[in-house]
């Protein structure tokens, strides 16, 4: 083989080893492991399986117990639900499998609480609706009874006899009165004349006349 061609071949092999060799693959798997996050609707066992596989490839020369601890920590960090993640962390599982079991139990418990809470809210809302219907029906019935009572009270009250404002007698109105209206003076309050014809007013006027003449 031409030495020049052989040299280029060796350079190519070296480049391939640098790119796809075991050392660089470990780094790639570690990056993938750190960026792994639980997908939507991804189960905890599936997430744990993916993390265990990446951990083994990222740390091929590390003891099994250490690999399990690393995989457990990355599994907890990858849990999508923050509340589940926090509870699993405080439970301090020793292995990846134990962390998976704790996550499944915690999720089931939270789902049960959520469903119970929704049922309680619906029951309270239904009870409130029934109570409001009862109150509304009761108010309607009370209003009807009050109206009926008012009608009964009006019927029980004696009818007032019609009275005439002209003569003061009962049995007819002023427009039906046959009594001739009597003049009444608003000055001296004496019947028989009006104020302009009042003798008292005329007398007072005459008494003031001499004084006006002297002035």
What pLDDT does 213 receive?
A: 45
pLDDT, tens digit (0-9, with 9 covering 90-100), for 132-161: 778 778 888 888 888 888 888 877 776 666
Residue 193's pLDDT band, with cuts at 50, 70 and 90, is: confident
Helices (H), the chain: 3-20, 22-34, 44-58, 64-78, 82-91, 96-156, 199-214
Residues 6 or more apart whose CB falls under 8 angstroms from that of 54 comprise 29, 32, 33, 36, 74
Collapsed DSSP state (helix, strand, coil) of residue 191: strand
As a three-state string, the secondary structure of 41-87 is CCCHHHHHHHHHHHHHHHCCCCCHHHHHHHHHHHHHHHCCCHHHHHH
More confident residue, 81 or 160: 81
Q: Are 74 and 55 in contact (CB under 8 A)?
A: yes
Nearest to 79 by CA among 119, 118, 110: 110
pLDDT, tens digit (0-9, with 9 covering 90-100), for 85-133: 999 999 899 999 999 999 999 999 888 877 775 655 566 666 666 677 7
From CA 134, how far away is CA 33, in angstroms rounded? 61
Q: Are 161 and 155 in contact (CB under 8 A)?
A: no
Residues 6 or more apart whose CB falls under 8 angstroms from that of 154 comprise none
| pTM for the model | 0.46
Nearest to 108 by CA among 43, 37, 38, 39: 43
């Amino acid at each position: 083989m031409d030495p020049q061609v052989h040299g280029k071949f060796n350079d190519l092999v070296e480049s391939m080893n640098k790119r796809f060799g075991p050392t660089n693959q470990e780094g790639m798997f570690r990056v993938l492991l750190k960026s792994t996050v639980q997908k939507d609707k991804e189960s905890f066992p599936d997430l744990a399986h993916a993390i265990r596989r990446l951990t083994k490839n990222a740390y091929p020369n590390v003891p099994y117990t250490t690999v399990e601890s690393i995989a457990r920590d990355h599994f907890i960090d990858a849990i999508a639900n923050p509340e589940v993640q926090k509870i699993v962390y405080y439970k301090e599982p020793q292995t990846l499998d134990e962390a998976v079991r704790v996550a499944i139990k915690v999720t089931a418990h939270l789902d049960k609480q959520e469903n119970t809470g929704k049922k309680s809210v619906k029951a309270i809302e239904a009870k409130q609706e029934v109570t409001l219907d009862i109150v509304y029906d009761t108010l309607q019935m009370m209003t009807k009874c009050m109206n009926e009572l008012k009608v009964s009270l009006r019927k029980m009250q004696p009818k007032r006899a019609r009275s005439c404002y002209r003569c003061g007698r009962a049995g007819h109105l002023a427009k039906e009165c046959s009594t001739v209206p009597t003049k009444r003076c608003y000055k001296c309050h004496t019947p028989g004349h009006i104020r302009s014809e009042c003798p008292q007013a005329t007398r007072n006027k005459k008494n003031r006349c001499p004084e006006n003449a002297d002035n």
